[in-house]
Every structure is written in structure tokens, then in C-alpha cells.
Chain A
Amino acid sequence: MNIQAMPMHRFIDHKGTLVTPLPAWLSHDMLVSYYRDMVLTRVYDNKAVALQRTGKLGTYPSHLGAEAIGIAIGRTLKSDDVFIPYYRDMPAMWARGIAMEKNLQYWGGDERGSDFHSESAPHNRPSRDLPFCVPIATQCTHAVGVAAALKIEGGHHAALVTCGDGATSKGDFLESINCAGSWNIPLVFVINNNQWAISVPREIQCGAEFLADKAKGAGITGITVDGNDVVAMLDAVKTALEQAYRGKGATLIEAISYRLSDHTTADDASRYRSEDELQQAWQYEPISRLKQYLINAGRWTEQDETELLELCRKDVEAAVERYLAIIPQAPESAFDYLYESLSDDLHQQRDAIINKAMRMQGAKHG
């Protein structure tokens, strides 16, 4: 089954052809800007995998193929909205103003990677966005709480949560969309339906034709979108957020994409996925179609592409340099954020780890 051939919300097809007129609010300049964002995240992703292979990063989940989803989310959310990401959401976090090296720090084994400010937030204040969520689908229930908090606060803000297609099989996801419907809260769910939950394909997750159909049972709006078409994603996220701002409740967006990478750098997808299927999926990926559209529209050239790639490489290398220059956390920092204040017993354990670390460092150096 060619999932990309199924009916879904789409503006630009995989050949770069406009199949629906662009939304009135979207300019070509904006599209060029989004294209640049998407290319930057792909260059970053390739670099992150290389860093893992050379021992400079821990296990890393590539977002290859999810660039349009992430950029659409990150660029559409307003600064006072709250984003609740899952672990494959670097493009959205970056587009939301989180520094690239923070992501490297997180996957590099440093908890400070989740202590980020948002450049898009007023006065560069600490972001209210939640950190990456690794347990599957639990972030959906947190998002319900966040959206309920926003509703209690008043104002016109919304929460947006992402998950993979595998997460939709979990009770947490179903409990969350169910509650979002009954509480009428300002919340947008985005499923990155990339067809694979590690080795388990989409058809084993659920018998429904579309995962967005689950919205009907929850009493919320559901829409299936071409997740490789950044315009369709922008349009869907913008519409859903506006509905949330107006107090019209939650929306479930199923973004159809494809995981062009392994699940993580610890995975080998060739064990369970055919090369033919992967090659077919590459025909539909999000960046090449937008590039082709912009070229057709006279807004992009190969010279632009060359210059962009060079710029992206410089930006990513600079972020990597900043990441590698970060001074490691002190070993006792594991205690410093556990509670607001430490008990006597934890103080003693904290002292013990300091002494142990000094012994170990002394042995290493001398």
C-alpha cells in the first residue's frame, strides 16, 4: 500500500507541484525561510549521527524525514504557547528558539540540555515547554494538564503535543484525547505517523485506516495531513491553534511521514525493513519537494542551495564547537536538583560522591 497516495490534506505533492492553491497568509518569502530551516535541521541531523558514531554523542534518534512537521510546529506556535515534545522533535524545538547545542547536550548525557531558555519567549525567559519525553505517550497526559492550566489561567494560549504512531496504541494517548474532548481544552495533538515504531509497522499498531479517525471517538477534530508537505502542516497547525485560541477545543493532526533513518543510532532498520520500501519513501521526502516547488516558482537556484548548505554547515559546526566546549557538570549536581533542599542523609551522600570523584580524578591524573 502506498500511503502517500491516500487522500489527505496537501498543497504541494512529491514532485513539487502545487495541487491546492497556497493559503492566502503564506508568502513565497516565508516558504523560502522555512526551506532554509528544514535544510539546516537535516544538516544538523547528519552531523549528530556522525558525532554519535565517533563517540561524541550518546544514542541519538534521527529526525530524518520529519523536518516539515517540526518546522511547521516550531514556526507556528506562539511564544506564550507551550510545546510538549517527544524525543524526535529537534526541528520543532530549534524552530521554537531552543539553541542547537542544548539538543546536543541532552543527547550527550548532560541534564542541562533540558534547562533551556527560549529565544522566542519574551525577555528570553526560561521556557515553559516541557523537556523531551522518552517514555511513550506519557507526554500526552502532561499536555492535557498543561492545556488545562492554560485554560485556568485564562488568556488565549494553547498547548501542542507530539507523539509517534506507536504512541497512539497506548492508553495514555487514548485517555488524553478522550479527556481533551470532555474538558474542551486548548490543545493540539500531532502524530508523527512515520510508519514505524522501532520494528513494528503502522498496520500492526491499529486496524483503523487513519489514526486521525480516533479523534471522532474522543469528540475532537481530526485531520490527516501530508506530513512531508510543510505547507499542509503549517496550514493544519495554524488552523488547529486558532481553534484552540478561540475556545473551540482540541484537534488531532495525523501527519503522514516516513522514518527515513533507523529508530535510533542503536538500531539497524535493515533487519526488518526492505530497501525497496525505503527507496520508495525517499521519493516523497519533505525537503526535495519544497526545493523543486521553489525552483519551479523561480524562487530558488542551485547557487542558492550551495550557499545555504555552506551556511548550514558553518552554523552546525559552530553549535558543535559550543557543545564540545561545555564544562561538564559536577558529579554532585545529581543531588542539587533532586529536591528543593536536601536532607541530612542526602547531604552525606552528596559529600561521598564528591570525595569519590576526587579520588577517581586523582587516580586518573596522577
Chain B
Amino acid sequence: MAEMTLLEAVNLALHHEMASDPKVIVLGEDVGDNGGVFRATVGLKDKFGCKRVIDSPLAEALIGGVTVGMASQGLRPVAEFQFQGFVFPALEHLMCHAARMRNRTRGRLTCPAVFRAPFGGGIHAPEHHSESVEALFTHTPGFKVVIPSSPQRAYGLLLAAIRSNDPVMFFEPKRIYRTVKSNVEDNGNALPLDTCFTLRKGRDITLVTWGACVVESLQAADELSKQGIEAEVIDLASIQPLDMRTIFASLEKTGRLLVVHEACKTGGVGGEIIARTAEHAMCLLKAPPKRVTGMDTVMPYYRNEDYFMLQEADIIAAARELVEGWK
């Protein structure tokens, strides 16, 4: 077992699965000699050769479409988009074809592909490099949507994504690519893609979050604990399908729901979680559910970026309001 970053865990999972399954192919721009813009694919080409680690032309629609074509023939391609904001040229392939291949052929052909993309803000990146659009793909039937928030879960979830017979959008929170470290054992054990993870037990409030916001949510929970409020923190991890059972079980204890995500508020996944809670578990709630989310704006250029990133204090304030205002 070795301590590593989330980025290194992604790389480890790719190494593991390419070694154990010859059908796994990695493709994208810069993934070969350069090892990807963030170095997630470093060393793969040396180990597995240029037939399995394929540098593509600079054409995202092509990357999306080629991945669909490869997957339709039984390969397990793992495509890398350099940033989530660069997935947009490939949307037609993802939504019209990848997500629908199994359905439109009644299972004759499938699309066992993984589409990886770093996402989110907070690294002072240029325009179009800070998107958080997981809701877009969650709203598209046929996809699984997965977001790891720790090295250990990045390793296990990526293995599961590659082994999945359904197409998976795998979004990596680049803000914590190198800042979060944990021990990861290269044991080939995949994590489930339909379960969220309870990271911290608590009795007073349930914080549901994912991606880089898990860091601030855990910090907020620690601070709240000092103030006498015990928060249960749930890392959603699998955005689609949504594991509401774990959330409802937590609400049975806490009765208070706070969803924290970096993506825009309107139409976001937080709204879906709260809607399902209202539909199926309203009686568990002691207070109206609440969201701490990104603003409904375009992410500003980096000089103003910090004002728009979620802070630990935002979460603490919302949690206190929920607990203290609704006693």
C-alpha cells in the first residue's frame, strides 16, 4: 500500500486494468508520450505500446465518435478529454450514440466506454477550463456518471467504470488532483457504482456532496463539531444512478439535509436530490432542505474566481442556519 495523489491513483487504475484486460484502450490528445496534460496517462504508452495508447488528432468530436466505434466492436476504450469544457464538441456522439447504443440495438451492440475529463474550478485556469456540468449527463438516459473525491475511491471507481458494460462519464476534480493524498492498495478491487460513501458519522445534519467540495465539507464538519453540531458527510460519488437509500438512512438520524456542490444551482443535481427527498422522505425532515452551490453564472476569469468558489464558511453558515433556525 502506498500513499499517493488522486491523479496517481487514476494512473494506477489505468495501469492495472490495461495489464489485466487487453481490450482496454486509452485514447485522447497528448495521452501518449506526454502522458496527458495532467500526466494521468504517464507511462502507459511505454508499457502497452502505441496500439493501445493512442494519441488522437486534436478533435474532440472525433475522440468521442472513435470511442463509440471502438466500444461497439467489443473494445473497452477509455477516452480522455483534457478538460470538461472540451467535451462539448463531442456531445452529439456522447448523447446520440454512446448513451443509446445498447437501447437502439436492443442489446446487439453496447458501448462499454469510459469518458474521462478533469472538471471544476479553483486552479486559476483559463476560460472554458472550469466547468462543472455533471447534471448535463445525469439528465441523459444511458450514462453512468461518476466523480471520485479521494485517491482510494478514484482507483476503485475507475476500475469499476472500465469494467462497466455501460458508458461512464468519469469526472475528476482537478482542484484536488495533487492536494489530496491517501493510501491506495493496487489490489484490483473495484468499488460499486451505485453506492455513495458515508465519510463521517453525525446526528444533527446530513451533508451530501461530491468532488472537490468533499474537502471543504469535511473541514466544515470538523468545525461544526467544535460548535456542538455533528454532521454526517456523504460523498455521493455515483451521480447517476443516485443512491438515495444511504441518504434517506442518514436523514432518519439527522432530519436535516444540506447538499453542497460546485456546479450551478439551477437544474443541478442538488435539486434532484432534494426533489426525491421531498417525494419519498418528506416525513423524515425536521427542516426544509437547503443547498450550497455554485452561482448561476459563467465561472469568472481567475481574478474573481475565489469569490465564486465554495468556502468552508459557506457550508458552516448554511448548516448552522438549518440546525439552529429549525429547532
Contacts and interface: CB of A to CB of B under 8 A. Distances in A.
A144 interface: yes
B103 A338 contact: yes
A153 B62 CA distance: 21
Contacts of B198: none
Contacts, number: 138
A146 B72 contact: yes
Contacts of A345: 241-242, 244
B1 interface: no
B62 A142 contact: no
A337 B165 contact: no
A343 interface: yes
Interface in A337-360: 337-340, 343-346
Contacts of A142: 65-66, 68-69, 72, 93, 97
Contacts of B52: 152
B222 interface: no
B312 interface: no
B284 interface: no
Contacts of A340: 102, 110, 164-166
Given A150-B73, A339-B142, A130 B109 contact: yes
Interface residues on B, range: 35 or more
Contacts of B97: 135, 138, 142
B51 interface: yes
Interface in B60-106: 61-62, 64-75, 77, 89, 92-93, 96-97, 102-106
A152 B57 CA distance: 18
Interface string A13-39: 000000000000000000000000000
Contacts of B65: 138, 140-142, 144-145, 172, 175-176
A149 B59 contact: no
Contacts of B64: 141
B195 to A, nearest CB: 11
Contacts of A126: 108
A148 B66 contact: yes
Interface string A102-129: 0000000001101110000000001110
B282 interface: no
B231 interface: no
A131 interface: yes
A111 B104 contact: yes
Interface string B31-61: 0000000000000000000011010110101
B62 A179 contact: yes
Given A130-B109, A131-B104, A148-B54, A141 B69 contact: yes
Nearest to B93: A138
Nearest to A149: B73
Contacts of A344: 245
Given A175-B57, A179-B57, A338-B102, A146 B73 contact: yes
B288 interface: no
B25 interface: yes
A147 B68 CA distance: 12
A116 B108 contact: yes
Interface residues of A, number: 46
B106 A337 contact: yes
Interface string A162-174: 0000000001100
B93 A82 contact: no
B194 interface: yes
A338 B141 contact: yes
A283 interface: no
Contact of B103 (A145, A148, A152, A337): A337
A171 B61 contact: yes
A143 interface: yes
Contacts of A171: 59, 61, 89
Nearest to B89: A171
B107 interface: yes
A332 B89 CA distance: 33
A182 B66 CA distance: 14
Contacts of A288: none
A243 interface: no
Interface centre among A116, A128, A140, A146, by most chain B C-beta atoms within 10 angstroms, is A146
Contacts of B59: 171, 175, 178-179
Contacts of B141: 338
A152 B68 contact: no
Contacts of A148: 54, 66, 69-70
A131 B103 CA distance: 11
Interface in B274-291: none
A141 B66 contact: yes
Given A146-B70, A152-B51, A338-B142, A172 B61 contact: yes
B24 to A, nearest CB: 11
A9 B165 CA distance: 45
Contacts of B57: 175, 178-179, 182
B66 A145 contact: yes
B106 A114 contact: yes
Given A111-B106, A172-B62, A175-B59, A145 B142 contact: no
Given A145-B66, A178-B57, A138 B73 contact: no
18 contacts: A84-B69, A111-B105, A128-B109, A138-B93, A141-B64, A142-B68, A142-B72, A144-B66, A146-B73, A147-B69, A149-B69, A149-B75, A171-B61, A176-B65, A178-B57, A337-B106, A338-B103, A340-B164
Interface of A: 82, 84, 111-112, 114-116, 126-128, 130-131, 135, 138, 140-153, 171-172, 175-176, 178-179, 182-183, 333-334, 337-340, 343-346
Interface of B: 25, 51-52, 54, 56-57, 59, 61-62, 64-75, 77, 89, 92-93, 96-97, 102-110, 141-142, 144, 164-166, 194, 241-242, 244-245
Top 3 A-B pairs, shortest CB-CB distance: A145-B69, A141-B65, A343-B241
